[in-house]
Amino acid sequence: MTTNPLLDATGVVKTYGAVVALRNASLSVLPGEVHALMGANGAGKSTLVKILTGAIRADAGHIRIRGEARDVRSPADARRAGLLPVYQEPSLIPDLDVASNLRLTDTPVEPFRAWVRELGIPDLDIRETARDIPLAVLRVLDLARALAVEPDVLLLDEMTAALPANLAEKVLEVVRRQGDSGRSVIFISHRFVEISALCDRATVLRDGETVGVVDIEPGVEERIVEMMLGARIEKTRMAARMASQAASPGDSRPRLGVANLRVGTKLNDVSFDLANGEVAGVVALEGQGQDELFAALAGSIRPSGGTIEVDGKPVKFAHPADAIRAGIAYVPGDRTEALTMQRSVRENIALPFSAALRNWGPINMAQERSRVVSAIERLQIDTRAQREVQRLSGGNQQKVTIARWIAAEAQTILCFDPTRGIDVGTKQEIYKLLRELADQGKSVLFYTSELEEVQRVCDRVIVIFGGRVVDVFPVELADEPALMRAAYGLPRGAKEDVGILADIHSTPVAKP
Amino acid sequence: MSTTAIQPVPSGRRLKRFMADRPLIPLIILLVILVVVLQILRPGIVNERWLANTVKFAIPLAILAGCQTMTMLTGGIDLSVGTVATMSAFIMATQVVNHDPAVAILIALVPAVLIGLVNGIGVGVFRVHPLIMTLGTSLIGTGCLQVYQRTVIASGAKIPPFLAWLGTGLTYGVPNALLLFVPIAVLIVFTLNRTGFGRLLYAVGDNEGAARLSGVRYWQVITALYVISSVLAGITGLLYIGLIKAPSLSLAEPLVLPSVAAAVIGGTSIFGGRGGYTGTIIGALILTVLTTLLTILQMPEGARRILFGLIVLFVTAAYLRIIEDR
């Protein structure tokens, strides 16, 4: 390997106030390779990516592109240097249509269309306003927009995190082909399956420092995890839960009863119960009505038909405040929807305390403090940057959104994909927390886009397809292939394999 | 893990971080510099009398800037404060001819509450942009005041002695207006930092959607906010007429834009979610001292205004650079 690196960053340092995001990061990417950038939450991956792409400036360090020292001062500089990012969050301007968004970045339309088709979306109308496009599709459009200008180095930050399996597969395929054609890709992901399928090498960050660069070969996961965590850890795998462990609802009255719920055209006739002390999983492909289901239960939108019962009493929610009064809390998938980013961790957690008119008066600071602190401790939130939530890492932000409702002692928590784009360690903590809540008699409705989570957390799985409940599994039957079949709307007994499954589990990964 | 964050930093950065953590300090430094410049330009001007005078004139501005601070925290603005202050001053001055001062004051505060209510419902329920909403009610209020003026033109106006005492009087060299201002300031600071309502102002301005998901009803917060803002503006009008002692139909109008400027200089973001009242008070003092400074330079009015505008722009830009640690 004597080829010169296409991109070579060394000694990159970045601090935010007292918080050191990067202390000594380096990254070297060879032409034609797919290079994984890994690290636990808050290790500095996103910060490094933002520095490379000119979104923020480093305090120190050198960046060389094709051996030439470059001072990337703005995203436009990075573009000119051939470096293009696709960030964790969708970057199209919501109020513009797709075509105008393309014009903003001078993206040629025809290659863009070709890439969109390639990525598995055959019927995109580029006059559609970005706001009206579902999240998963937006992410694919972001990728297509980057691919259309043929960048030398493509940076993908948690690209597949919110994608349903069929789109994710297409994306991975395209990324792999980029490497083959002599371009490089920097790939950030928490999914080892993807990393081992795609990447040639990996750079591992820990606490803002590059702690190692490894070749991806069978069995390297252990070493990477070790490096990310800084100490050898026992590979703890939560065994699939068995029916005997499942909570046995003591009283017959369900905590939450949903009957024939309808929301516009998206959700038709959904009925299910949620018992006290139960974690019920919701599994669905992107856009099958799960967003509307959660929004309706949270009081964010009004259902167009059907009934919701809480503890046996029918309720009508006109505002999230009504749902909260009934003990139902909603943790949205997008953290930025739930947090006041410029405010402190404490204020974010305490926000629901002040919401009702009768709580507008003076705050009992001591009492608030103790409630907040106990929630922070319970979720082990890293509070070094607690003065502004926006300075926390994604995983810690997510913990704050959940801590809020622990502190508020909500009886029922609706978690919409709470582990999207956060690291393995935090995911484990969230699984554990959800189980603990259930053991305390609370009930959790848990939508997840990662099927493997279902068996770790849920007692029961509700599968939604096309706005209807198509199946309800007990946990011991809910293995990934079964769930995937159901999510595609296939009946439980069907034998034929769904294409995607065969691909993920049996195709050996072609590697150069 | 947590100890690793401590690390030597260059002193320039440390100073900057210090400033970022205590945004009041650069403001106080600026205020002191302005006073020193004033003293150099006109030696001996800075004495007890000048101080009392400055405070007296800064107080009405600071209260109106308090209205702006609170509304700006929610991402709004209240341009009707000038009209509301003028109305309550004018109505009080004309009503006091026939009524007991207490009754006159109560009557004078009625339009303040009404305008606040209309602003709040317009912004909170019908989602009219605060700029347009308060500008609209401000014009309506001015029009109503002109109509009202015709009906009282014969009866004349007077200013109750205790308002004049409050507005202009000194006790042991300390302006009496502080008797009104200190409780108001303490109340605003306390409300913003230690009450549920204050928390909600920040939350609504930072992320309305997140506040909603936490069970906050936007219209309640906004309606209460604009009523409070209007009532404060009404009280300011009563104080201001005690200071100016000449009722007119545009009494407090000239204070409106400076009140916005004072809040912005004080570090409150017009986009909401960020800021506080202590900075605003210093912002009001800075603007007042700046006005005196420009007055004693004996420049033509036009040049003075140009300079005033430039300095406000420069100070705000510099201040934001200092406190924003990016």
Give the Cα separation of A301 and A291 in Å (integer).
10
Instruction: Report CB contact under 8 Å: B196, A352.
Output: no
Pairwise CA distance, residues A405 & B140, whole Å: 45
Written as one letter, the residue type at B220 is Q
Residue B9 confidence (pLDDT) above 60: no
Specify the CATH class of B46-301+314-323 in words: mainly alpha
Within A42-94, residue ranges assigned H as helices are 45-52, 75-80
Tell me, what's the pLDDT at B325? 53
Look at B5 and A384 and tell me if their CB atoms are within 8 Å. Answer: yes
Q: Two tokens at A324?
A: 């909260």
Residue A464, SS3 per DSSP = strand
Please give the backbone phi and psi of residue A345, each rounded to the nearest 5 degrees, phi first: -60, -45
- Which B-chain residues 216-235 have CB contacts (< 8 A) with chain A? 216-217, 220, 224
**Do A287 and A232 meet the contact criterion of CB atoms below 8 Å apart?**
no
Question: Where do the domains of chain A lie, and which CATH numbers do they carry?
Answer: 7-229 (3.40.50.300), 253-327+412-424+442-512 (3.40.50.300), 338-410 (no CATH)
Q: Where are the domains of chain B?
A: 46-301+314-323
- State the nearest Cα–Cα gap between B128 and chain A, in angstroms: 19
pLDDT at A56: 87
- B8 reaches A (C-beta below 8 A): no
Across the interface, whether the CB atoms of A325 and B326 are under 8 A apart is answered: no
How far away is chain A from the Cα of B263, in angstroms, using its nearest Cα?
A: 18
Are B215 and A324 in contact (CB < 8 Å)?
yes
Question: How many beta-carbon contacts under 8 Å exist across A and B?
Answer: 112
The residue count for chain A? 512
- Burial (CB count within 10 angstroms: exposed 0-12, middle 13-18, buried 19+), residue A250: exposed
Kindly provide the ipTM of the predicted complex, given to two decimals. 0.87
CA gap A300, A353 in Å, rounded: 19
The contacts of residue A332 (CB under 8 Å, 6+ apart) are A294, A338, A401, A416, B213
Q: Which chain B residues touch A337 with a CB distance below 8 Å?
A: 207, 209-210, 213
Residue of B nearest to A326 (CA): B215
Residue A498: what pLDDT? 41
Inter-chain CB proximity A20 and B4 less than 8 Å: yes
Tokens read off for A98: 């797709």
Query: Does residue A368 contact residue A353 with C-beta atoms inside 8 Å?
Result: yes
Cβ distance of A342 and B206 shorter than 8 Å: yes
B118 has a chain A CB within 8 A of its CB: no
pLDDT, position A480: 73
The Cα of B189 is separated from the nearest Cα of chain A by a number of Å equal to 12
Q: Do A23 and B7 touch (CB under 8 A)?
A: yes
Give the span between the Cα atoms of A5 and A1, in whole angstroms: 10
B212 touches chain A (CB under 8 A): yes
Whether residues A324 and B1 touch (CB distance < 8 A) is answered with: no
**Residues from chain A contacting residue B12 (CB–CB below 8 Å):** none
Contacts of B314 (CB under 8 A, 6+ apart): none
CA distance A324 to A312: 17
Q: Chain A contacts of B202, Cβ < 8 Å?
A: 340, 343, 347
The model's pLDDT over B27-36, given as tens digits with 9 standing for 90+, comes to 899 999 999 9
Across B4-21, average pLDDT: 61
Interface of B with A in 176-195 (CB under 8 A): 190, 194-195
pLDDT digits (tens, 9 = 90+) for A385-398: 788 898 888 889 99
Q: Report chain A residues whose CB lies below 8 A from the CB of B20.
A: 17
Is B220's CB within 8 Å of A357's CB? yes
**What confidence score (pLDDT) does residue A221 get?**
74
The residue to which tokens 């330079």 are assigned? B297
Choosing among A340, A400, A401, which should be mutated to test the B contact, i.e. which has the most B CBs within 10 A?
A: A340
Within 8 A of A15 by CB-CB distance, chain B residues are 9
pLDDT at residue B96 is higher than 90: yes
Q: Say whether pLDDT at B107 is over 50.
A: yes
Predicted TM-score (pTM) of this structure: 0.75
Interchain CB distance below 8 Å, A355 and B209? no
- How far does chain B reach from its first CA to its final CA, in angstroms? 23
Residues of B in contact with A359 (CB under 8 A): 196
Return all residues near B38 (Cβ < 8 A) that are at least 6 apart: B45, B46, B289, B292, B293, B296
Can you give A336-376 as a three-state secondary structure string? HHHCCCCCCHHHHHHHHHHCCHHHCCECCHHHHHHHHHHHH
Burial class (CB in 10 A: 0-12, 13-18, 19+), B174: middle
pLDDT-flagged residues of chain A (< 70): 1-2, 18, 40-42, 161-162, 190, 229-252, 488, 491-512
Q: Which residue is associated with the tokens 């949903």?
A: A258
Place of tokens 């001072």: A71
What integer pLDDT is reported at residue A345 of this predicted model?
93
The average confidence (pLDDT) of chain B is 90
B315: distance to nearest CA of chain A, Å?
23
